[in-house]
A and B are shown apart, each in its own frame.
Chain A
Amino acid sequence: MHIAEGFLPPAHAIGWTVAAAPFVAHGARAVVTEVRENPESTLLLGAAGAFTFVLSAIKLPSVTGSSSHPTGTGPGAILFRPPVMALLGTVVLLFQALLLAHGGLTTLGANAFAFAVVGPWAGYGAYRLTRAAGAGLLPAVFVGVALADLATYLMTSLQLALAFPDATSGFVGALAKFLAVFALTQVPLAIGEGLLGVLLFRVLTRNARPELERLGVLEPATPTTAGSPL
């Protein structure tokens, strides 16, 4: 999902930066509000940020013979709603752009829009829909986390196709070309990431029940507080 430094024409680079900026600013406010109003959230917020930090650092091989990064933005979006991830995701991208020459400053807007905005929102939406359809927490987490990953790369393909329409087949042809590179490679990664999300939430449901209940991820178990650990 990292469009390399200098690889988007200036107009596109500026356009995506303008598009992503309000989401990131709103996300920064969401993080500050969350920490101020619920200081006990800081720990889980750290876990959500750490999860993207680890996963986006890892390159994994895929069935297509190329490798790609997971995104790790899903769990944070599910726990704290997507705006929070707009900031945390952009911090990760900035780290990679400045220190790793992975992605770039001119493409930060476009990459942030895919990785920190579209991915988290798509994942969160899928999670909510799955839960509304009656699924339990963990299946919905799987779907949400996997889709956050996949949607990020679909968005990147879209961005590249907009910037580089094919000479003969135009936008659609270019989209097919970039999807061929990204989408199929990403499918096993998205499944793996969804499973890792399930593992994380299994640990959280066991050890962070009060937080999950407060965040509305879990229903309060017994209103009578009979066997509540806290």
Chain B
Amino acid sequence: MKRSALVTALIVVTVVALFAVPLIVNPGAGYGGADGRVTEELEADGYEPWFDSFFSPAGETESGLFALQAALGGGVLGYVLGRLRGRRAAAEAATATATAEPATAEPATATPATTTPAETDQR
């Protein structure tokens, strides 16, 4: 479990570093969207879009809606992962109480059985 927590921490740090490093190394760059750059290039070449969005939110509203999208996704993801974790905890508690009397070794083997395959899969 200790090793697993360390691996998780390392992955998180790597992900953060991956996106923090460009900002630190080159803070002057605009970091405009790649999508937008293509649009600008095409317009510079004289292309006229032939259809406009029905609804274009203003800058601040747009950020808010993007945040809303992320929040909805994050909320659902957190809910599902929380439920799955709670389910496992409940199942473990159930097996622990069910087998508490005859064999104390049972819950001890139950925990590695759920983690060991995950560990071996990481290699």
Contacts and interface: CB of A to CB of B under 8 A. Distances in A.
A174 B21 CA distance: 30
A41 B30 CA distance: 43
A204 B18 contact: no
A96 B95 CA distance: 46
B113 interface: yes
Nearest to A229: B91
Contact of B12 (A67, A177, A199): A199
B57 A100 contact: yes
B53 interface: yes
A53 B55 contact: no
A216 to B, nearest CB: 14
Nearest to A53: B73
Interface residues of A, number: 78
Interface centre among B29, B52, B70, B73, by most A CB within 10 Å? B73
Contact of B87 (A100, A182, A207): A207
A173 B57 CA distance: 35
A191 B42 contact: no
Contacts of A195: 11, 14-15, 18
Contacts of B76: 46-47, 49-50, 53
Interface in A112-168: 136-138, 160, 164
Contacts of B47: 7, 164
Contacts, number: 206
B69 A100 contact: yes
Interface in B70-123: 70, 72-77, 79-81, 83-85, 87-88, 91-92, 95, 106, 109-110, 112-115, 117-118, 120-123
Contacts of B123: 136
A185 B112 contact: no
A209 B115 CA distance: 10
A203 B19 CA distance: 23
Contacts of B77: 47, 50-51, 54
B121 A229 contact: no
Given A138-B121, A164-B42, A101 B80 contact: no
B18 A67 contact: no
B6 interface: no
Contacts of B25: 63
Interface stretch (A14-22, A29-37, A220-228): A220-228
Interface of A: 1-7, 9-10, 43-44, 46-47, 49-63, 65-69, 95-102, 104-106, 136-138, 160, 164, 177-178, 181-182, 185-186, 188, 191-192, 195-196, 198-199, 202-209, 218, 221-222, 226-230
The 9 A-B pairs with the shortest beta carbon distances in the complex, nearest first, are A53-B73, A227-B113, A6-B49, A65-B29, A54-B73, A6-B51, A50-B76, A57-B69, A101-B56
